[in-house]
Structure 1
Amino acid sequence: MSKVLCITNRSLAGTDFLRQIEKIAAAGPEAVILREKDLSEKEYEELASKVSEICRKRQVPCIYHTYIMTAEKQKAGGIHLPLVQLREVYREAKERFLIIGCSTHSVDEALEAQSLGATYITAGHVFQTDCKKGVPPRGLSYLKEVCSTVSIPVYALGGIDRINASQCLEAGAAGVCMMSPFMKSSNPAELVNGV
C-alpha cells in the first residue's frame, strides 16, 4: 500500500487538471485529498463529482476537504477538515464518515484532533515550502514528537518530495502528503513508488 497522499491544487496543475488527476489516480496513491479552497461549495461539488469518479475507477479513495454537506451528498469516502471546523462538526463527522482527517500544526492540536475523532492527521509544515513562504518549517523533531504522542496515523506535510520523504517515515510518520510534486509531475507513479 502506498504511503503517499496527494493533495490537489488546480493552480499548480496547469490547464488540464482532470487529466493530471487521471494520471495521479492511475499511479495509485493511498488517497487523493481534493483541497480546492478557492471554490464556492457549488463549484466544489461540480469538480468533486468528476474527480471522485476518476478516483473510483482506479479504486483510490477521494477525500473531500471542508465541504461536509457535499461530501455526504456525494457519498465521499472521507472528509478532511481544519481543526477549527472539526471542533464544530465532530459529532456529525463521526456519524457520517469512516475517514476523518484533520490538519494540525502542534502537538496540542494533534491530541485535540485525535480526541475529536480524527482517524488520521496531517502534521506540518515539516520542511520549507512555497505554500508557507516566510514561515519557518517545524522540522523533523516536531514531526517525531507528534508521531510519538498520538495513536492515530500521522502524515507529514509541507515541502515533502521523493528525497526527504524517507526522513519523515523514519521519524514515525505513517506516510507523507505531497501537493506540488503531484500537480506538476509528468510521471506521478515515480512519486508513489519512490516512497
Structure 2
Amino acid sequence: MTDRSQLRLGRSLVRTVRECADAGLEAVVVREHDLEPRSRHALVAALAGVGDLSVISSRIPDEAADGVHLAARQAPAAGWWGRSCHGPDEVRRAAEQGASWVTLSPYAASASKPRRGPALPPDAFAGHPLPVLALAGVEVDNAAAAVGNGAHGVAVMGAVMRSDDPAAVVRALLRELA
C-alpha cells in the first residue's frame, strides 16, 4: 500500500514501487487520497505501466487500475474489488457482497495508525471464504506468523514506505513468506 508522505525525503513513489516490483512485489494499492483527481489518475496510470504489477486504486475507481479497494462502508463496486475490514463480521459481509479479497486489520500495533486499536486475535484471520490479507503492523519479523495464523497473505505499507531501501524490505518479506 502506498503512502508517499512516509517516503524518505526526495524519494519518488513511482521509483519506489518500480524498485519493489523488480524485487518481486505483485500488487500495489494506491492510496494517495489527497491528490487532485487528474494527478492521482496520472499516478495510477504510471504505476499500471510497471511490468506485470497489479494496480489497485484505494476507494476511488480508476480506469487505469486493475481493481478497487473499498473502505469498510463503501458500496460494492463493479469488477474486481476488495474491502478494508476490521473484524470477522465485516469479512463475512464483504464476501456476501462479492468482494474478491479483504484486508483485515489491525494485525499488530501500527506506527502508521497508532490509535487504530488493539490487534485482532490471531484466529480472526483464518477460515474465511475469500482471501484475507493481514494489514497494520506487518513487518518482516511477523509476516510469516500472520500467514501461519490463517491469513492468505499480508498487505504492508509503513515498513516498506518508511524504509531506506523499500525493495530490500519487499525481498525480505517474500523470503519470510516463501
Partner residue in 1 for 2:119: 138
User: In structure 1, what residue type is equivalent to 2:171?
Assistant: A
Partner residue in 2 for 1:191: 173
Note if 1:170 corresponds to 2:148.
yes
Normalising by structure 2, we get a TM-score of 0.88
Q: Is residue 63–residue 80 contact of structure 1 (8 Å, CA) maintained in 2?
A: yes
Give SS of 1:131's match. Answer: coil
Give SS of 1:169's match. Answer: helix
- Give identity over the alignment, percent: 28
Structure 1 residue 83, shift from structure 2 partner: 2.3
Q: Is residue 110–residue 146 contact of structure 1 (8 Å, CA) maintained in 2?
A: no
Give SS of 2:102's match. Answer: strand
Structure 1 residue 30, shift from structure 2 partner: 3.0
- Structure 1 distance, partners of 2:116, 2:60, is 27
Q: How many residues align?
A: 171
Partner residue in 2 for 1:147: 126
User: In structure 1, what residue type is equivalent to 2:109?
Assistant: Q
Give unpaired runs (5+ residues) of structure 2.
none
Note if 1:8 corresponds to 2:2.
yes
Moved beyond 4 Å, runs of 4+: none
- Structure 1 distance, partners of 2:36, 2:98, is 26
Q: Which has the higher helix share?
A: 1
1:81-92 matches, within 5 Å, as: 81-85=70-74, 87=75, 90=76
Structure 1 residue 146, shift from structure 2 partner: 4.4
- Structure 1 distance, partners of 2:28, 2:48, is 9
Give SS of 1:103's match. Answer: strand
Structure 1 residue 178, shift from structure 2 partner: 0.8
Q: Is residue 106–residue 135 contact of structure 2 (8 Å, CA) maintained in 1?
A: yes
Give SS of 1:130's match. Answer: coil
CA spacing shift, 1:166–1:37, aligned 2, 3 Å: same
Give SS of 2:42's match. Answer: helix
CA spacing shift, 1:133–1:145, aligned 2, 3 Å: closer
Give unpaired runs (5+ residues) of structure 1.
1-6
Give SS of 1:192's match. Answer: helix
Of 56, 62, 75 in structure 2, the residue corresponding to residue 63 of structure 1 is 56
Give SS of 1:102's match. Answer: strand
Normalising by structure 1, we get a TM-score of 0.81
